[in-house]
Structure 1
Amino acid sequence: MGMLVMGFGVSMCPHADFDRNVTFILTGSEVGLLYDLIGVEDPKSPLFGRFFYEIDVNRFTRDEAIDFLTRGFRETGIDVPRDVIEILVDMFNGIPGWLIYAANLYLRGIKDLTMVREAAVNEALNELNNFIRVKANYSTINARRTAIALKCIANGNDAWSKVAECVEDQEGASVSTASLGNIIASLEKLSIIKDYKYLDPVYNAFA
């Protein structure tokens, strides 16, 4: 990550310093990863001290999500029944990214909402599996324990002691506090979990 951050920052700096009409927009759901990429809190980063403006797009309320999809579908010229919109909203719990994903599938002709949910679940599982595969490039033990921790959390273990017990049961051996702590911290940094719960309910399918 260090070399990536350095290269990314060096390539941006000339434009950030001299091109007043150029604005960089970086988006993503993994807030901690974006902070690492930009390096705004790292004095060694080429982008350290540069001005940036952060916009948080939080989960919509049910009414906001219904209005969001209603307006979006209307702009495409397609009349979608209210009950379909409400099912999509309840299915994805107001998360903007999944609402857009589901709406795009619907507009592309996938009207079976069960298939829409299955597609979203498969996408989420692919994201988590890719995340674990990347970890395996550095440590197979850490990757395996991360996968176990994700499953434990998906199965309702919502406290440190519960997750630790579940991981150790699956491993058949004790796991150090530091090791599990690093795993939990990395999952929180990537905005996958918070307080031992998935921020994104679709990820619960990882169980």
Structure 2
Amino acid sequence: MLFDPRPKECRAELFNREEELKFLSRYVVSGSPIILCLGIRRVGKTSVLKVFLNESNCPYIYVDARRLSEFGFSKQGFYRLLSEEFTRVRGKFALITEYLKSIKGVSIAGCRVEFNWRNKDLSFSSILAKMNDYAEDCKTTFIVAIDEAQDLRFLRGYRRIDLVQILAYSYDNLKRVKFILAGSEVGLLYKFLGFNNPASSLYGRIRDEVVIERFSKEKSVEFLEAGFEEANVKVPKSLIENVVEILDGIPGWLTYFGYKFVQLGQLNILDQIIREAENIALNELRKLKTFSPFYTHILRAVSLGFNHWSTIRKAVEAWTGRHVSSKTLYSLLNNLVDMSILAKVNDEYVFLDPIYRKASKNL
């Protein structure tokens, strides 16, 4: 169903992403060991990634790095997620179990694969090496897909896992292992991986990128029309065009509107649905206050048209009654750009998501 609010998992549910799927397939077959799948929030990265993985004949594990927060971004939590994924994948690729058995710290109990994270001999790189052996013997590619991969930078604790070092090791030595790293906070993901940082193990490494763009106005209209036709709901063309103007081609918000409209079945609920979307965005943005009280004031300033550095600074200082140093403001603005909330265009800061812009007026 096109208006299913959950990430899509089969091609029939995925709208207008044939090119992106084609590039992912090409890069897995003959591209770099590291593939980046990039795009702003709610643009459909997870859907594209899941559909590709489900259609691929390659064995894979899929890790949503956001779940690491459940375990305090610990080593234990990382291996817990790996355990869940290898337990799932052994159902389809049973031979994988035979390769895992030879790793110290791995136990196979019934249908489950367990990793003893306390075992000093267990390492993620040793698991990857065995998956490389498996893929070599089976003449295939083993895919490690990590969603919201920028959150890997939070991994911490005693003998924490250094994913950048492991990625570099795999890049150089494991010819049958490929990583697909999806990220919505593009700048943070780049900084974490350090392709342009001489101090990073991945400095200068070639990678392939698939950028998931928002829909054009025409495709947005087609998407909504197809979704309403699928749901057997008639909607005036003028309403659809109005929605497209407001939501600016972001599939997640278009889907949210379509789903809510079908559920409520009223023509005069556009404003209500937009307010609900704004409240969702508002709750997300308020979390930034945990890191700095200036974030919300900066976002409010930009949403009200204070787009230049100097006018943002004046607005924030007027609202807070506090001096904001140049260094602090530059740092916070750069962070918002890295988080893909703002973009800098010709010395002006603008929102990438129109709903975030509307929500920020209420911060």
Please state which band the TM-score falls in when normalised by the shorter chain.
0.7 to 0.9
Are the counterparts in 2 of residues 40 and 47 from structure 1 also a CA contact under 8 Å? Answer: yes
The structure with more strand, counted as a fraction of residues: 2
> 2:261: which partner in 1?
106
Match status 1:78 vs 2:223: no
> 1:4: which partner in 2?
155
Overall identity of the aligned pairs, in %: 30
After TM superposition, the structure 1 = structure 2 runs for residues 85-164 of structure 1, keeping only pairs within 5 Å, are: 85-107=240-262, 109-111=263-265, 112-133=269-290, 135=291, 143-164=292-313
TM-score of the two chains, using structure 2 as the length reference = 0.47
Paired residue total: 196
User: Secondary structure of the equivalent of 1:54?
Assistant: strand
Pair 1:89–1:41, CA change in 2 (3 A): same
Pair 1:80–1:189, CA change in 2 (3 A): farther
Mapped to 1, the partners of 2:206 and 2:259 lie a distance apart of: 34
TM-score of the two chains, using structure 1 as the length reference = 0.76
Mapped to 1, the partners of 2:350 and 2:304 lie a distance apart of: 10
Pair 1:22–1:186, CA change in 2 (3 A): closer
Instruction: Report deviation, 1:19.
Output: 6.7
Match status 1:175 vs 2:175: no
User: Secondary structure of the equivalent of 1:24?
Assistant: strand
Mapped to 2, the partners of 1:103 and 1:21 lie a distance apart of: 39
Are the counterparts in 2 of residues 9 and 46 from structure 1 also a CA contact under 8 Å? Answer: yes
Instruction: Report deviation, 1:43.
Output: 4.4
Mapped to 2, the partners of 1:39 and 1:99 lie a distance apart of: 34
Mapped to 2, the partners of 1:128 and 1:172 lie a distance apart of: 22
> 1:139: which partner in 2?
none
Mapped to 2, the partners of 1:45 and 1:80 lie a distance apart of: 55
The CA deviation string for residues 131-176 of structure 1, in whole angstroms up to 9 with x for no partner, is 222x1xxxxxxx1122211112122212122111111112223321
User: Secondary structure of the equivalent of 1:196?
Assistant: strand
Match status 1:34 vs 2:183: no
The structure with more helix, counted as a fraction of residues: 1
Instruction: Report deviation, 1:198.
Output: 1.7
| Larger deviation, residues 32-41 vs 196-205 | 32-41
Mapped to 2, the partners of 1:162 and 1:37 lie a distance apart of: 31
Are the counterparts in 1 of residues 288 and 295 from structure 2 also a CA contact under 8 Å? Answer: no
Mapped to 2, the partners of 1:32 and 1:165 lie a distance apart of: 26
